[in-house]
Amino acid sequence: MTDMPARRLLLVHAHPDDESINNGVTMARYAAEGAHVTLVTCTLGERGEVIPPELAHLTGAALGGHRREELAAAMRALGVDDFRLLGGPGRFADSGMMGLPDNDDPGCLWQADVDRAAGLLVEVIREVRPQVLVTYDPNGGYGHPDHIQAHRIATRAVELAAEAGCPVDKVYWNRVPRTVAEEAFARLGEALPGLPFERAADIEDVPGVVDDERITTEIRGEGFAQAAKAAAMRAHATQITVDGSCFVLSNELAQPLFTTEYYELVRGGRGPGDGEHGRESDLFAGIGNGDGIEEAS
């Protein structure tokens, strides 16, 4: 690519819809600010459970193709033009939930050779030269094999890219502070009688919830970014039903829709914090100016 913007953000996710749930505000904000936002999705989510009855006939490759269209619609809502499938469409299949026979499919992501898959991601890194990469923690947020594998691939790609002279300055994991989750679920419980959903999920159902002190960075969305996130999530109609400030997945358990997104910096220099908690308010904080940098612990 030529004439790349000064700020370049790369996100690595397992399936279509993960990016909108975890990072919709972040992606919309940086895209609107002129940063180059690149999304790499590792599978098409061919083994996802379909919510709408009228789409229940979609399975396997047909579902993957439909979810690819949903992903494109979500990216339009977020203002992101650069979105890719790792190794191209169909290179890695959805592995299904942990412990299922689907995990043994030799073509699924869970069975992929991490170094080879990471090499495909290195190609993207060499092209885009992102300063910041966002992905999951080692447990993939909640233990899904594709999320765990996406973490491994992203982590190894950062190592290989550095060896190739294309270092990524900062790496973040998706997070939710425990107190924020607790407060959001308390509000959800109060609102539940007036919602079309019968039951709420548990905090344990939310990927990446950790104690507040582990949060290094929070990205707040203005009105446009919040609306873009909700629209992007609605675009993933096979997987998500959105109603106001909450949503459900195929388990029909209501979860809060977070309009501030949180991160843990795990690689690179931590920039100056601001606000009540002293957290970074910019994923690019400290990059390129050397001011107020401290190593992430």
Q: Residue positions in the annotated binding site for Zn(2+)? A: 15, 18, 147
Sign of CA dihedral 109, 110, 113, 114: positive
- Tokens 């990524």 label which residue? 168
Q: 284 with 132: CB under 8 angstroms?
A: yes
Helices (H), the chain: 18-32, 60-78, 114-128, 145-163, 178-191, 223-235
Residue type, position 39, single letter? L
**In 3-state terms, what secondary structure has residue 97?**
coil
CA distance 269 to 286: 7
Classify residue 171 by its DSSP letter: E
CA distance 168 to 34: 19
Instruction: List the one residue out of 93, 98, 99, 92 whose CA is nearest residue 121.
Output: 92
* Distances in whole angstroms, Cα of residue 139 to Cα of each of 64, 151, 197, 240, 242: 24, 8, 29, 22, 26
CA 117 to chain centre: 18
Residue type, position 60, single letter? G
Known binding positions: 15, 18, 147
Half-sphere exposure of 21 (CA within 13 A, CB side): 26
First vs last Cα of the chain: how many Å apart?
34
